[in-house]
Amino acid sequence: MKRMSLKTIYVSITVLIFSCNNTSKKTEHQNKPSQPNIVILLADDMGYGELGCYGQEVIKTPNIDKLASEGMRFTQFYAGSAVCAPSRGVLMTGMQVGKLNVRGNYGHVADGNWGRVALKKSEITIGEMLKDAGYQTSFIGKWHLGVPEDVSTWATGRGFDYAIQEQWGNKLEGGKFDENDHWVNKRDSVLYYDWKQYDCKDVFRTNLAIDFLDKKRDANKPLFLVMSYRTPHVHEPDLRETERYNEFGWPENERRHASRITMLDEQVQRLLDKLEEMNELDNTLVVFTSDNGPQAENHSDLFFKSAGGLKGKKRDMYEGGIRVPMIAWWKGKIKAGSISNHPGIFYDIMPTLAQIVGVESPSQTDGISFLPELMGNTQKKHEHLYWELQEGKTQEGFRTALRKGDWKVLRYQKSGNAELYNINNDVYEQQNLALEYTKRVKEMDTIMLNQSEANPHWPFSGKIKK
């Protein structure tokens, strides 16, 4: 055998040492999943201007502001639609709303009756995608993508290993669901939210999440958790908390509104603290967003400038109805304090998570992964973004909008006149330029009409024939 040179021996020993180190590290961490945990924190009806980091000057949100200062804050991120169900459907499936089976909170179901419409089983959810990718998938709070009578359409039936959800509407056996009931894994068991025991509903939901992490967490799998909060949606008629912001002398409904947002902020931190205590937080992507613009049902959306000065609110195709807070936090991956002007939308979330996890996004998706943006790399942009909404049962309630570059066209009702705005010059949508740019309106209108697929639940939709 040829004698080895000193240099060769040195290299060999070095390789051996590194191999040993790597082997020991591998042994030490062999049960730790390498894929990151993913936690989505979804507020309900939180406007673009209701967080300190988005310019809110009165309502205190220090913990979410800190999340933004340590992560990336998006200035032009959009919900999937302007109300809960369709917007959440877009988030869950990565499909633009004009192709989705859910395009309003109520659709035509049969014989002139309108009611809840569920996601189709063929519309794959993020839960199903991540469960297939080896994640422990969990969901707590408001689902809003199923029908009350069929538990297979509830969160546990749609890819979530463990789900506690609220439910309302008619029970299969008769009677109605109580919104304060929280159903565990379909209807295996039920936990009642007694408002006298908690400052607000999101305290209760955070307790449920912490209890889940304590007792059900499978440490051999990466975690996917969706926290679907109640705040600041109108459906919390009873509130134990009575102290916060009393010094300002605001009307009680406004004090409660501000108080709930600040309490949500604290609950976000409680959950993050729990993940940190479990040594899980450092390997976690946290996304905070809202499903649509601010509600004005039990208070004035103008009192705290909830939409941040944008035109419109929940149910509107104007920016106030669809532009939402969006924060992404991922320690050591996303540059702290970064601000992104990339126009993203809820249907981008599924392909982004697919890319992070290293799986193919389902072919149904219309989204573009914004992982390059999160990593500070060159980001591909959409040719256009699309929104659709059915409000009520009439053609007047059919609303669509399309953004292409800086331009946005929108229409309330199928036969109504289109409005045109330049979002870059006129983010507050004060100048309707439709009469000045008729050719542009026509071009964008054609694209907009072509985004909507015919669907029997949504009688006023549908340029694209199925």
Q: Which of residues 84 and 213 has its CB atom nearest to Ca ion in the complex?
A: 84
Among 166, 199, 202, 291, binds Ca ion (CB under 5 A): 291
Q: Which of residues 45 and 266 has its CB atom nearest to Ca ion in the complex?
A: 45
Look-up of token digits 């992404």: 328
Q: Report in angstroms how near the CB of residue 80 gets to Ca ion at its nearest.
A: 11
Q: Report in angstroms how near the CB of residue 446 gets to Ca ion at its nearest.
A: 30
Considering the rule CB under 5 A, would residue 319 count as an interface residue with Ca ion?
no
Q: How many residues make contact with Ca ion (CB under 5 A)?
A: 5
- Taking contact as CB under 5 A, which single stretch among the options 40-48, 61-69, 135-143, 356-364 is the one that binds Ca ion? 40-48
Q: Which of residues 138 and 292 has its CB atom nearest to Ca ion in the complex?
A: 292
Considering the rule CB under 5 A, would residue 45 count as an interface residue with Ca ion?
yes
Q: Report in angstroms how near the CB of residue 389 gets to Ca ion at its nearest.
A: 12
Q: Is 143 helix (H, G, I), strand (E, B) or coil?
A: coil
Single-letter code of the amino acid located at 25: K
Considering the rule CB under 5 A, would residue 236 count as an interface residue with Ca ion?
no
Q: Which of residues 125 and 284 has its CB atom nearest to Ca ion in the complex?
A: 125
Cα distance between residue 125 and residue 369, in whole Å:
16
Cα distance between residue 376 and residue 372, in whole Å:
6
Cα distance between residue 227 and residue 210, in whole Å:
11
Considering the rule CB under 5 A, would residue 50 count as an interface residue with Ca ion?
no
Considering the rule CB under 5 A, would residue 81 count as an interface residue with Ca ion?
no
Sheet holding 338-340, edge to edge: 189-192, 181-184, 162-166, 136-142, 223-228, 37-43, 284-290, 326-329, 72-74, 338-340
Alpha helices, H only, 378-422: none
Q: Report in angstroms how near the CB of residue 331 gets to Ca ion at its nearest.
A: 29
Cα distance between residue 387 and residue 248, in whole Å:
38
CA 321 and chain centroid, separation: 14
CB 70 within 8 A of CB 337: yes
Considering the rule CB under 5 A, would residue 316 count as an interface residue with Ca ion?
no
Residue closest to Ca ion (Cβ): 84
- Taking contact as CB under 5 A, which single stretch among the options 47-55, 80-88, 152-160, 349-357 is the one that binds Ca ion? 80-88
Buried/exposed 91-130: b ≥16 CB within 10 Å, e otherwise? bbbbbbbbbbbbbbbbbbeeeeebbbbbbeeebbbbbbbb
Contact pattern for Ca ion over residues 248 through 287, marking x by CB under 5 A = ----------------------------------------
Residue 349: CB atoms within 10 Å: 28
Q: Report in angstroms how near the CB of residue 358 gets to Ca ion at its nearest.
A: 32
Considering the rule CB under 5 A, would residue 164 count as an interface residue with Ca ion?
no
Considering the rule CB under 5 A, would residue 301 count as an interface residue with Ca ion?
no
Binding site for Ca ion (CB under 5 A): 44-45, 84, 291-292
